[in-house]
A and B are shown apart, each in its own frame.
Chain A
Amino acid sequence: MADLTRLTAAELGGLLARGEVSAVEATRAHLDRIEAVDGDVHAFLHVATNALETAGEIDRARAAGEPLGELAGVPVAIKDVLCTLDMPSTAGSRMLEGWVPPYDATTVARLRAAGLVPLGKTNMDEFAMGSSTEHSAYGPTRNPWDLERIPGGSGGGSAAAVAAFEAPFALGSDTGGSIRQPGAVTGTVGVKPTYGGVSRYGAIALASSLDQVGPVSRSVLDAGLLHDVIGGHDPRDSTSLTDAWPSFAAAAREGALADSLRGVRIGVVRELDSPGFQPGVSARFHEALELLAGAGAEIVEVSAPHFEYAVAAYYVILPAEASSNLAKFDSVRFGLRVTPEGGGTVEQVMAATREAGFGPEVKRRIILGTYALSAGYYDAYYGSAQKVRTLIQRDFASAFEQADVLVSPSAPTTAFRIGEKVDDPLAMYLNDVTTIPANLAGIPGMTVPMGLAEEDGLPTGFQLMAPARQDARLYRIGATLERLLEARHGRILDRAPALG
């Protein structure tokens, strides 16, 4: 039998539906792969002990003729920021070590309802704060392309698991690029949906006006299939949109078949096409633009003058919201409790617990957020950052008058070395310069692998952004671009080094 771990979720779903492969076989193949390579990659914080049992139930349901979805029996990995009833959910923090939530996140419940088989929980920067997964309390995840390099972050675990063929696809979350930047540096596809397009109920909150849950995969179609499963209105999330969404898998299938991009206007954002980016990244980006133009798309240059303020606004808004969200870790209802020697008041216990339970990046951002929200500074920082947000939304609105999608490299560089930036927070923050604007404006963004950088042979990503609610447009154009790029480079993950 072919190696089941090399198949896309769509391919695997087809074999399962036709009865050529059982869910138990598909799941066992991925568990074996995890066993073989995860000692090196460290994509998983927890591997599900009930995965084969879950798969067996799907096989029995299929044998009994029960109606099943097209992904039933396909394994999936889940970022540890999402609550799971049957697995610990730590968000990469000591604060929640071993904590098993009393409910499933809506996205997880929808995976289960669709018959997907959770393989385990993936590593991440603590509470999703970081761009390298080095801020996980449980040690870094390594990039399958080069084990000495970072897999991006915060969702480095989900991206690495998919890139290393430990899972066909995975769930991630994206607050400032945590799905798209790991996608870029691992050669995988990732989508940050429109704000409110996917439920956040049961997603441990980082910054509530920015967070979105989304798919991580090896193909645009697989991302669309997973998005179709997890998306749509959830009354348990008050920011969830009530829109009726089209099928994103259908949009991807349509895009993959399109023989022309005539009439499509592709806007290159001048401020996100910086001469400061790594030359090999820029070269691949401009090559991809030529492919799009060759397929008939009109390439236009657009300007977004306020994007240069996006990183600054983000690093005010995010810490402010995070400092408030993380106040819930009070050592009373769940998680760690550390009592100072000789005891203490509840306040002293809380302070000792938070000192012991949070890592350096989390403390840094809580303190920064507390500063930005404190009396006398609120207007200067938080108030100003919210105004920048308006200006960025206006930039997007005017750019989308000239273009159907906006594009840029998904990350300014390829994967950097583990340890290279971990002690320099400002340098780390600049990794998200291309991805942050979409979060501030609530619009959808996608990364598609665009080949390897010439100077280091590492993956690069092409980012597409669409107006809010137009996620389907990303899938359609993204799938066409993917086909054009694969015709040029082949599937780039086929060129990743062997592991294990």
Chain B
Amino acid sequence: MSEITTETVQHLAGLARIALDEAEIETLTGQLGAIVDSVAKVREVATPDVPATSHPIPLSNVQREDVPGATLTTAEALAGAPEHDGTRFIVSAILGEEQ
């Protein structure tokens, strides 16, 4: 059995920046435990002699010519933003009161 507890899920939700509610944490704890137990199967055959594959068809040093091209205008880049002042994105305070 996996060691997924409500505290684990709470911690992961913090890392993932999702303000899960109590009920969600409860449900996810059970579900995540079952899923983690099931996917743990990958460890059975992952012996040290097997190299890892990150991409199925690896390419390297993919670069383009360094020439100016068309880019979004400021207005286009800001068009989908929840809040902006016409030239910049507006965000909430970065630091909390205690910081």
A contact set with B: CB distance below 8 Å? 99-103, 194-196, 209, 235, 238-239, 241, 306, 309, 312-313, 315-316, 323, 327, 330-337, 339-340, 343-352, 354-355, 358, 360, 363-364, 366-368, 370-372, 374, 380-381, 383-391, 393, 425-426, 439-443, 468
Contacts and interface: CB of A to CB of B under 8 A. Distances in A.
A384 B4 CA distance: 19
Give the 10 A-B CB pairs with smallest separation, nearest first.
A442-B56, A337-B82, A384-B46, A334-B80, A386-B52, A387-B46, A351-B19, A355-B19, A389-B53, A384-B42
B59 A238 contact: yes
Contacts of B83: 337
Contacts, number: 183
A336 B83 CA distance: 10
A196 B19 CA distance: 36
B16 A442 contact: no
A279 B23 CA distance: 39
A193 B63 CA distance: 23
Given A313-B42, A334-B81, A367 B9 contact: yes
Interface in B25-78: 28, 31-32, 34-36, 38-47, 50-57, 59, 62, 64, 72, 76-77
* B interface SS class: loop
A380 B44 CA distance: 10
23 contacts: A100-B80, A102-B76, A239-B62, A309-B41, A315-B35, A327-B17, A332-B81, A334-B80, A345-B95, A346-B92, A348-B92, A355-B21, A363-B28, A364-B31, A381-B39, A381-B42, A387-B51, A387-B52, A388-B42, A389-B53, A390-B50, A393-B56, A426-B38
A209 B18 contact: no
A368 B94 contact: no
A370 B94 CA distance: 23
Contacts of A330: 17
Contacts of B18: 351, 354-355, 358, 363, 366-367
Nearest to B27: A360
A363 B42 contact: no
A351 B17 contact: yes
A315 B39 contact: yes
B28 A364 contact: yes
Contacts of B81: 332-334
Nearest to A102: B76
Contacts of A443: 56
A487 B45 CA distance: 45
Contacts of B24: 360, 363
Contacts of A442: 55-57
Given A366-B16, A374-B15, 16 more contacts: A102-B72, A309-B45, A312-B38, A313-B39, A316-B39, A332-B82, A333-B77, A371-B32, A371-B36, A386-B52, A386-B54, A387-B42, A390-B51, A390-B52, A441-B56, A468-B57
